[in-house]
Structure 1
Amino acid sequence: MDGRILVELARQTLTRWEGGRAVARYAVSTGRNGAGERNGSGCTPRGLHRVRMRIGEGCPVGTVFRGRRPTGEILDDELAAAYPERDWILTRILWLTGCEPGINRGGCVDTLRRYIYIHGCPDAAPMGEPCSHGCIRMRNRDLIELFDQTPIGMLVEIRN
């Protein structure tokens, strides 16, 4: 597999690499609580990961997911106003699994069991600053572009 994804927490960017060169760069929003691997921390886990599952292919932009399943809702102003504190998971999900035992795999540091995703969020949500509960949030249109170029198994490195 030629491609990989690099998430840089300090820069709040996600870069897709192919053949040793950057082919796309996006602003993201990672964990409000910073970097960290422990379950329940609200932090974004560092290290080497892989895309374990791709969820939502073909769903409309703004599709709302709960428990990794589409709810049948599409986020609009009325729905957003009804649930202002909700951590919206929208459009697509790239579910990550850690590759490093004891760092981001297994026990209380398991990225997969922490349900860490790359996912869409409301257009009004800030990008370029840490605001998530640990996941990597992206603009919906950017996420669709990334999703379409990201197979299961693609490496994802998350670093400071």
Structure 2
Amino acid sequence: MRLINCMKIIATIVVVILMFSCKTIPTVKSPSLVGQPPEDTTVFVVDNEPSNESIATFLTEYLKIKYKDRDFSKFIYVSIKHQKLYLIEKDSVRFKFPISSAKLGVGNVQNSMKTPIGLHTIKHKYGDDVPLAGLFKSRVYTGNVSPIYAQKIKSPTDDVTTRIMWLQGEEPGINKGRNIDSYKRYIYIHGTSEEGYIGEPASHGCIRMKNTDVLNLYEVVDEGTPVLILKY
């Protein structure tokens, strides 16, 4: 009996020692490596993206209900929240690309330098024979090729490269007419020299894409293809 009691006392002492020793162990954060900035915890997207299947199904049904007179067998969806562009065809996501929308957020007013929301269409396409990273000025190929900045480096100019898809607003009072007209604001989907900023808001209103991505998208869409831009 005495042996059992002694064993119980010893066990109790061991538990108490372990409890106090655990409490006195300080929590130490791993230091940042020399010459390397600490990990950036500021992320534009704070929750998970919905699946491709759910996006395609929901948006196709939504568009058919809201715009009954339009054909949505193939359309582009731009998610400002997730900084992604989806090409949806026959209720499935055919392509998904990272993009960069306006640094100042969403807005439809002239000279706001914001990305307009709502339903658009591709009004014009430019760049059929332009080489990768070919530089445009007023939608005309200059004959020059722009350097591509893979890191977060600002170009001295707001370069438009490779391909252009000029958008026209389709919703009067929202993105068409008066001082809220996307077409008159020269809102494009286009390539950029600032590829290091793709995936976060950085443009002056347009939808920027990586040069190989905008080339691939250009080849599979036509003038008249619907483009839905939403904050979500």
Same fold (TM over 0.5): yes
Higher relative contact order (CA 8 A, sep 6+): 1
Task: Give the letter for the 2:222 counterpart.
Answer: P
How far is 1:123 from its partner?
5.5
Question: What is the CA–CA distance in structure 1 between the aligned matches of 2:189 and 2:155, rounded to whole Å?
Answer: 21
Change (3 A) 1:84 1:21: closer
Question: Normalising to structure 1: TM-score of the pair?
Answer: 0.93
User: 2:191 corresponds to which letter in structure 1?
Assistant: G
Matched, 1:15 2:77: no
Moved beyond 4 Å, runs of 4+? none
Instruction: State which of 139, 160, 163 in structure 2 corresponds to 1:68.
Output: 139
Contact persistence 2:120–2:168 (CA under 8 A):
yes
Distance 1:105 1:123 in 2: 29
How far apart are the structure 1 equivalents of 2:98 and 2:203? 13
In the superposition, relative to structure 1, how do residues 149 and 40 fare at CA in structure 2: closer, same or farther (>3 Å)? same
Aligned partners of 2:171, 2:195: CA distance in 1, in Å?
35
1:105-153 per-residue CA deviation (whole Å, 9 max, x = no partner) reads 0100000000000000116431110000000000000001100011000
Q: Is 1:105 aligned with 2:176?
A: yes
What is the number of residues matched between the two proteins? 155
Aligned to 2:208: 137
Report the residue type matching 1:29 in the other structure.
S
Q: Which residue of 2 aligns with 1:80?
A: none
**SS class of match (2:215):** helix
Runs of 5+ consecutive residues of structure 1 not aligned to the other structure: 78-82
Partner Cα separation in structure 2 for residue 142 and residue 132 of structure 1: 17
Shift of 1:85: 2.3
In structure 1, the partner of 2:230 is 159
Encode CA deviations 1:11-52: one digit per residue, 9 max, x unaligned: 000000000111110000000010000000010000000000
Which of the numbers 112, 127, 133 marks the counterpart of 1:56?
127
Give, as a single letter, the amino acid of the residue that structure 1 aligns with 2:160.
I
Structure 2 Cα separation of the partners of residues 11 and 131 of structure 1: 14
Greater fraction of residues in helix:
2
Q: What letter matches 1:36 in structure 2?
A: G
Distance 2:210 2:180 in 1: 27
Q: Which amino acid aligns with 1:151?
A: D
Unaligned 5+ runs, structure 2:
1-70, 149-153
Shift of 1:72: 1.2
Question: Is contact 1:123–1:140 with CA below 8 Å preserved after alignment?
Answer: no
CA distance in structure 1 between the partners assigned to 2:162 and 2:196 by the alignment: 14
Taking the aligned partners of 2:168 and 2:114, their CA distance within structure 1 comes to 15
Identity of aligned residues (%): 37
> Going by fraction, where is strand more abundant, 1 or 2?
1
**Between 123-132 and 134-143, the greater mean CA deviation after superposition:** 123-132
Q: Which amino acid aligns with 1:97?
A: Q
Q: TM-score, normalised by structure 2?
A: 0.65
| CA–CA separation in structure 1 for the residues paired with 2:188 and 2:196 | 16
Letter aligned with residue 218 of structure 2 = F
